[in-house]
């Protein structure tokens, strides 16, 4: 959260864009939960044989209208949220550049240009992703999670309790992996800085390199730094590779618990009313 304080002014400047995008995103999340309910009612009527062709067409029109609404609102939240993230990216890059121009010459004598280039490109790009898709994923998780649990409690409170048993483990796993990913991603960013600096030095001193016939040595140095960057990327990928299957396992464990206890409990007071 301390990092987001740096962007406080940018959030204030784009507050209406962000607000409109978040409202559209919340409405999309709510509408997405109505489609399974409409399909449920249609299947129930088909199962009990109480539906006519016109009634089935009515259910289809409801799904179509919900899909059109979701599509339109999804365009709105993407335009406003992703657009505001681009504006904040531009503002942050200009702030960085303006700040660099105020620093003393001694600062640039002991700071690598590659570090500054990495801050202005890769680091700001990571911030933009966090401000756009990161916020979207967070809102989807919170809104859909709360509404889903609400519907589950409405259908069967006791079974809902069994279904959310793996949730504390999912939270612990997420906290552990998020800290690990943060540390490794920070190391990855530093390696990218070194790679950028190596390329910059080679291009800036290309005349000297050719004059002393040092092409092979420079190629070997760049290959070494590039290989190190690949290894750091693979390190982050391995963490993500363990994280998502583990989360999927815990989620499927929740489904297995629901299926088991749902079969054991014979007196489920499930609500079929509308």
Q: What number is the average pLDDT over the span 56-81?
A: 94
Q: What number is the average pLDDT over the span 205-233?
A: 91
Last residue of a domain, one of 105, 131, 155: 155
Last residue of a domain, one of 132, 155, 178: 155
**Which of 54-58, 62-66, 111-115, 191-195 is predicted least confidently?**
111-115
Range of the domain at 63: 1-155
Contact 33, 151 (CB under 8 A): yes
Within this chain, do residues 104 and 193 fall inside the same structural domain, yes or no? no
Question: Given this model, what pLDDT does residue 268 score?
Answer: 47
End-to-end CA distance of the chain: 43
Within this chain, do residues 176 and 89 fall inside the same structural domain, yes or no? no
Position 274 pLDDT exceeds 80: no
Within this chain, do residues 15 and 119 fall inside the same structural domain, yes or no? yes
Within this chain, do residues 191 and 99 fall inside the same structural domain, yes or no? no
Within this chain, do residues 92 and 16 fall inside the same structural domain, yes or no? yes
Confidence of residue 46 (pLDDT cuts 50, 70, 90): confident
Last residue of a domain, one of 155, 186, 207: 155
More reliable by pLDDT, 5 or 218: 218
Within this chain, do residues 109 and 204 fall inside the same structural domain, yes or no? no
| Residue 197, both tokens | 């600096």
Position 3 pLDDT exceeds 80: no
Measured distance CA(19)–CA(77) in Å, rounded: 9
Within this chain, do residues 128 and 260 fall inside the same structural domain, yes or no? no
Question: Given this model, what pLDDT does residue 264 score?
Answer: 62
Q: In this structure, how many other beta carbons lie within 10 angstroms of the beta carbon of residue 34? A: 14
Within this chain, do residues 147 and 166 fall inside the same structural domain, yes or no? no
Within this chain, do residues 223 and 149 fall inside the same structural domain, yes or no? no
Q: What number is the average pLDDT over the span 238-253?
A: 88
Measured distance CA(17)–CA(84) in Å, rounded: 6
Within this chain, do residues 99 and 170 fall inside the same structural domain, yes or no? no
Q: Can you give the pTM of this predicted structure?
A: 0.76
Q: What number is the average pLDDT over the span 21-50?
A: 89
How many CA within 13 A on the CB side of residue 274? 9
Confidence of residue 87 (pLDDT cuts 50, 70, 90): very high
Contact 97, 120 (CB under 8 A): yes
**CA 110, 116, 119: angle at the middle one, nearest 5?**
140
Task: Indicate the DSSP class of residue 266.
Answer: S
Within this chain, do residues 18 and 142 fall inside the same structural domain, yes or no? yes
Question: Given this model, what pLDDT does residue 20 score?
Answer: 96
Within this chain, do residues 149 and 172 fall inside the same structural domain, yes or no? no
Measured distance CA(1)–CA(16) in Å, rounded: 21
Confidence of residue 36 (pLDDT cuts 50, 70, 90): confident
pLDDT in tens, 124-170: 988 888 888 888 888 888 888 888 888 788 878 888 888 888 888 88
Position 61 pLDDT exceeds 80: yes
Q: How many domains does the chain have?
A: 2
The CATH number linked to 247 is: 1.20.1560.10
């Amino acid at each position: 959260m301390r990092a987001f304080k740096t962007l406080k002014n940018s959030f204030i400047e784009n507050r209406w864009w962000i607000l409109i995008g978040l409202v559209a995103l919340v409405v999309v999340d709510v509408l997405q939960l109505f489609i399974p309910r409409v399909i449920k009612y249609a299947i129930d009527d088909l199962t009990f044989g109480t539906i006519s062709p016109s009634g089935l067409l009515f259910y289809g029109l409801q799904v179509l209208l919900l899909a059109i609404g979701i599509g339109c609102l999804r365009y709105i939240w993407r335009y406003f949220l992703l657009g505001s993230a681009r504006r904040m990216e531009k503002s942050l890059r200009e702030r960085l550049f303006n700040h660099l121009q105020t620093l003393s010459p001694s600062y640039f004598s002991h700071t690598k240009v590659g570090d500054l280039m990495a801050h202005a490109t890769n680091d700001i790009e990571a911030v933009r992703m966090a401000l756009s898709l990161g916020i979207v994923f967070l809102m989807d998780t919170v809104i859909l999670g709360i509404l889903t649990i609400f519907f589950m409690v409405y259908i069967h409170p006791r079974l809902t309790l069994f279904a959310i048993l793996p949730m504390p483990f999912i939270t612990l796993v997420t906290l552990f992996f998020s800290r690990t990913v943060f540390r490794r991603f920070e190391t990855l960013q530093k390696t990218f800085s070194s790679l950028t600096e190596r390329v910059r030095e080679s291009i800036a001193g290309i005349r000297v390199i050719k004059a002393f016939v040092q092409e092979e040595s420079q190629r070997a140095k760049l290959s070494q730094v590039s290989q190190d960057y690949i290894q750091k990327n693979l390190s982050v990928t391995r963490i993500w590779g363990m994280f998502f299957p583990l989360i999927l396992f815990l989620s499927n464990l929740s489904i297995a618990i629901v299926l088991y206890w749902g079969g054991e409990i014979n007196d489920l007071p499930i609500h079929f009313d509308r």
